[in-house]
Structure 1
Amino acid sequence: MLDAGIYEQLSRLVIAMKQKSSQNMAGNRRSVQKGTSAEFSDFREYMPGDDLRRLDWNVYARSERMYIREYFEEKEAVVSVILDTSASMHYGKKSKAELAQDLCAVIAFLTLHHMDRLVLYDSSQMGTPLVVSGGKNALPKVLGWLQARTFSGTETDSFSAVRQMQRRGAGVTVIVSDFLTEAATDPTQDCLEKTMQYLDFTKQRPVLLQTLCAEELRVTMDGTRNLIDMESKEKLRVTMRADVIARYEQELQKLSVRLKKSASAAGGTYILCDSEKERRALILEDLRPLFV
């Protein structure tokens, strides 16, 4: 995990939001609501973590469904993070999995430090997210959750996972993945573009953090190799000639450009993260586009 000194430097940064918040809980961000009076704004369905004092019992008596009354006031924002826990994330002398955990820790710290709500998803268990709020005191719980992740799942389509998220109003959705999946790399599929459009429609600022290791970014293998897929266990015998490596690098660059273009079109951000890069430099320099 990260050196404690990094968190002190991070405390001066704020995650940029695309939309103002529309959540019920009090926070440090100005919402679409206008003040702290008792002026009624709207109803929405109850979600775990909401203040039970805001339940409308009259609505519940009529419909037996739990609804929250919203008022015009300053509210917290919601930052949702999907962590790719597929087996391929274990690859690399300095693994992509460890980098992904560190990136999630950074996002979690900034979210909680500014009294926003954090929703963490394990891509292999989308139905049981970790929902945390209440400030920095909740960070140890998040770090424990991250350390407990097992990167052993089969190929994860992070774009399909987005559709399984619990919708919690405007905010930021962060996907931490290597994006080395058929859904992302096949140009004939439009899963990526449709997912970014969906996040834009749901008032989310999409953030794509692509985690790659040195072995993927700077191929140094030579000769004939037997490559084994870490997830499907399929084998491929490849002769690592200069033209083969050049073709691979071209395809990887195309994927990077596509991810960046799609995220930007939805008002979001794409950042390539190298697992071999020194963490402090990566976080405080490469991740700068995330902050205000």
Structure 2
Amino acid sequence: MGFLDAVLGRKGAGVTKTDKGELFDDDFQRKLDYLALVSKRVFAGRMRAERRTKKSGSGVEFADHRDYQPGDDFRYLDWNVYQRFDRLLLRLYEEEEDLAIYFIIDASSSMGFGDARKLRYAKRVCAALAYVGLANLDRVSIVSTTDKVLDRMPATRGKARIFKVFRFLNELEAEGHTDLEDALKAFVAQNKRRGLVVLASDLYDPKGFERGINVLRYNKFDPFVVHVVDKKDATPNLAGDVLLYDCETGDEREVTVTAKVLERFENAYGEYLSEIDRFCATKQVPYIQADVDVPFDELILRVFRRGGFLR
């Protein structure tokens, strides 16, 4: 059982079910409206240019000409060109397309370990970002994963659909073990339309967090990593002879915990965080560390400042 294969704890501790009653209360919903307004103000003028596709259609931005073919719509003939060159050419326009945003939330046991702070936080962050997407008329869908795709909320759009998001997220519980590569391979196979993928996870994957992110990259999705962290993971309250177990696999190990061991563990945890940051920076994958002790609305503003989400 390697370092950070999953959150380790005393035998007897376990995964806590999330409290469904308080996640999306009135105060939370009021903050969503504020965040949606901020997103429109900060990114006004950028979204049209960044969402433009290569498809030709009936948009407003001129793209090119092509020769007229029988059956083409006369409204798109370029009469100025016809008068000057005596040629019938059709004007082509670039077509704007709504953005597909996929939220993939890690619902493995490590996300619910102890008091389930990480899973609750991931739910609130996903709900807030989903609301911003819905307010911008993007197509939003949510997928929960472990080593496979557990459940899926089909794509929807429009602010009124946020309650559908709340219902889906409220039902998620932490279970199973993490395998991002297998789960995201299944996700890619099920979703042919490319788009932005927001991955909310603690990234405790025995096979390596890199594999799952690379599955998205290699299949032409645009990953945005929301790394859910609880700094308590780095400083476990352990001392003496203890029996540790992996909350995802059930593997056990007897360990004598000393101050020196705890120091080495904390240093290894810090290096692991740095490794994730370096990987994402090298691969140009937008990355943000989502500390569960940071208010969710402050974290969302950091996402806006980081860039890579609204496009």
Q: TM-score by structure 2 length?
A: 0.68
Residue matched to 2:271: 254
User: Where is the strand percentage greater, Structure 1 or Structure 2?
Assistant: 2
- Is the 1:120–1:131 Cα contact (8 Å) retained in structure 2? yes
Residue matched to 2:18: none
Counterparts of 2:228 and 2:274, CA distance in 1:
15
Alpha-carbon spacing, 1:94–1:285, altered in 2? closer, same or farther (3 Å)? farther
Residue matched to 2:158: 135
Residue matched to 1:111: 133
Residue matched to 2:7: none
Out of 84, 98, 103, the residue aligned to residue 81 of structure 1 is 103
Residue matched to 1:102: 124
Residue matched to 2:173: 150
Alpha-carbon spacing, 1:175–1:135, altered in 2? closer, same or farther (3 Å)? same
Post-superposition offset of 1:149: 1.0
- Is the 1:229–1:235 Cα contact (8 Å) retained in structure 2? yes
1:213-228 equivalences under 5 Å are: 213-228=230-245
Out of 186, 198, 219, the residue aligned to residue 174 of structure 1 is 198
For structure 1, which runs of at least 5 residues remain unmatched after alignment? 22-27, 40-70, 185-190
- Is the 2:235–2:262 Cα contact (8 Å) retained in structure 1? no
SS in 1 for 2:166: helix
The alignment status of 1:4 with 2:26, answered yes or no, reads no
Question: One-letter code of the match for 1:223?
Answer: G
Residue matched to 1:163: 185
Counterparts of 1:235 and 1:196, CA distance in 2:
29
Question: One-letter code of the match for 1:137?
Answer: A
SS in 2 for 1:182: coil
Alpha-carbon spacing, 1:127–1:236, altered in 2? closer, same or farther (3 Å)? closer
Deviation string, structure 1 residues 176-210 (Cα, Å, up to 9, x no partner): 111112112xxxxxx61x54444334332212222
Counterparts of 1:277 and 1:225, CA distance in 2:
31
Question: One-letter code of the match for 1:176?
Answer: A
- Is the 1:158–1:175 Cα contact (8 Å) retained in structure 2? no
- Is the 1:205–1:267 Cα contact (8 Å) retained in structure 2? no
Alpha-carbon spacing, 1:264–1:160, altered in 2? closer, same or farther (3 Å)? farther
- How many equivalent pairs are there? 246
Larger Rg: 2
SS in 1 for 2:242: strand
Out of 272, 275, 279, the residue aligned to residue 296 of structure 2 is 279
Q: CA RMSD in A?
A: 3.2
Post-superposition offset of 1:35: 4.8
Counterparts of 2:201 and 2:57, CA distance in 1:
39
Question: One-letter code of the match for 2:155?
Answer: V
Post-superposition offset of 1:9: 2.3
Counterparts of 2:219 and 2:277, CA distance in 1:
19
For structure 2, which runs of at least 5 residues remain unmatched after alignment? 1-22, 63-92
Residue matched to 1:68: none
Question: One-letter code of the match for 2:200?
Answer: V
Post-superposition offset of 1:5: 2.4
Counterparts of 2:120 and 2:52, CA distance in 1:
34
Post-superposition offset of 1:79: 1.2
Alpha-carbon spacing, 1:134–1:174, altered in 2? closer, same or farther (3 Å)? closer
